[in-house]
Structure 1
Amino acid sequence: MRTPSPTRPVVYVYPDIDAMSRAAARALIDRAREAVEAEGRCAIALSGGNTPRALYRLLATESARRMPWGQVDLFWGDERYVPADDPRSNFRMAKETLLDRIPIPPANIHPMLTAHPDPHDAARAYDTLLGQWFPGPWPRFDVILLGLAADGHIASLFPASPALQVMDRRVVAVQVPAEPPLRLTMTLPVINHAAAVYFLVAGKGKAGSVHRALIGPCDPATCPAAGVHPVAGDVIWWVDEGAATFLGPAVRAPSPPS
């Protein structure tokens, strides 16, 4: 795979979500192995939503043999403020599709806890966890996985959300115009200090938001995905043909990895 520029996203387009997810799984495993070899551990922030399910299922099957789960720490980029066993929980989705099927030590799993009566306390607790886990003012995740909604939101950073302006906290509690409305989310500075951000986007219904985020005109206030510009990292878009409907040849990377 060619090395992406830290300042320009690389866009890989595949015929369907299955091909896209297979390629993304291989790339994620390779990056995790490289991080473990270089640093001894790998930190990944998981995404909720429907598109990552296919990736998680692949990581839980044949791909699991190559993933160094004992040295991988899993975090969450956002969480719906519901009990951990609620069908809407991002943690529950990851648990059922991935965590219950892989040999990862329980101590390596770091969910956003939603049992606090006050969600702002929960946000502060996860903020503190990240501050203790990572040196420096901002976490340096090896990979942050992100989906993309039709309205352009990422994690639980929605258009016009005050959370988009937060530059002094790692995690905040937010009210969003979706169900359930109460969420926890990492902030843009956390995302932008990652070594790599992987967007996973499938379906023609996302084509408009993909075009806005990559081509514009767009700004983070109206399309939060446009605010993803890592300080010193890669941005790789893994998309299917449906999501890439409005992207011309100049935007698509030639010969995407299989």
Structure 2
Amino acid sequence: MSKTLVVVVPDADVLAATVASRLVAKIVDAQAERGSASVVLTGGRIAAKVLRTVKELPAAAAIDWSRVDLWWGDERYLPTGDPDRNETQAREALLDVLPLDPHRVHAMPADDGQPAETAAVRYANELATGGADVPPFDVLMLGVGEDGHVASLFPGHPVLNETGTTAAVHNSPKPPPTRITLTMPTIQTADEVWLIAAGPDKTDAVGAALDGDRSKPAAHATGRSRTYWLLDEAAAAKRS
């Protein structure tokens, strides 16, 4: 049975350090258990801060980065190298300095003129290369938006009803309007889901989701074994 744990720390800097330390430990444990690790990255300010902090942790030297698979929960459908792409931000924050196996860095497709639906299918096919619909994600990280969205799954948006592994998103309420995302059923396959939020602009959404408001997509994002809410005090101010 899945267990939900809420961790509250003083501020965004401590939150980034906490998440970074947990991530390193999770990867080390996964590699000790089966030789490799699979992580789903998220985007946003706090995500970039987490990745920059990983780079500074001595314990990260215990990771064999060549045996880490990196995936993304969603992506802005923009050209390769666009500074607003989650991949671009992750590479600048950490990935470009790591000895990663490039074949195990699974960026979502960039906008090359193809429809976003085609790109979403390509990513679904990449997820399924191991024989199952999705690989075994050890940890899937999600930022929580001011409206309670996670990945590019927004409240009331029809993509919330998608049952495949990936989906194209059009008319996103946040720019850019076109995106690619993992679906909620895919998110729920992860061993652990980490919902990360910092700042007073997240207070209402976090409080509502933790109180069981099912209109908030974040309330549906759960891991198979554990779900962690990793919050600073401002974001946690309205939790019961």
Give TM class, smaller chain. over 0.9
Contact 2:187 2:221 in 1 (8 A): yes
Contact 1:81 1:119 in 2 (8 A): yes
- Partner in structure 1 of residue 232 of structure 2: 240
- Partner in structure 2 of residue 252 of structure 1: none
Is 1:69 the equivalent of 2:61? no
TM-score (norm 2): 0.94
2:153 counterpart SS class: coil
**Matched AA of 1:226:** A
What stretches of structure 2 of length at least 5 have no aligned partner?
none
TM-score (norm 1): 0.88
Report how far residue 8 of structure 1 moved. 3.7
Report the number of matched residues. 237
- Partner in structure 2 of residue 129 of structure 1: 126
Q: Distance in 2 between matches of 1:28 and 1:190?
A: 20
What stretches of structure 1 of length at least 5 have no aligned partner?
1-5, 249-258
Q: 1:120 aligns with which of 117, 120, 136?
A: 117
Report how far residue 214 of structure 1 moved. 0.5
Contact 2:138 2:192 in 1 (8 A): yes
- Partner in structure 1 of residue 17 of structure 2: 22
Tell me which protein shows more helix as a share of its residues: 2
**Matched AA of 1:89:** R
Contact 1:138 1:189 in 2 (8 A): no
Q: Distance in 1 between matches of 2:220 and 2:146?
A: 16
Is 1:100 the equivalent of 2:96? yes
- Partner in structure 2 of residue 49 of structure 1: 44
Identical aligned residues as a percent = 35
Report how far residue 228 of structure 1 moved. 1.5
Structure 1: 4+ residue segments shifted above 2 A: 61-64, 135-140
Root mean square deviation of aligned Cα: 1.4
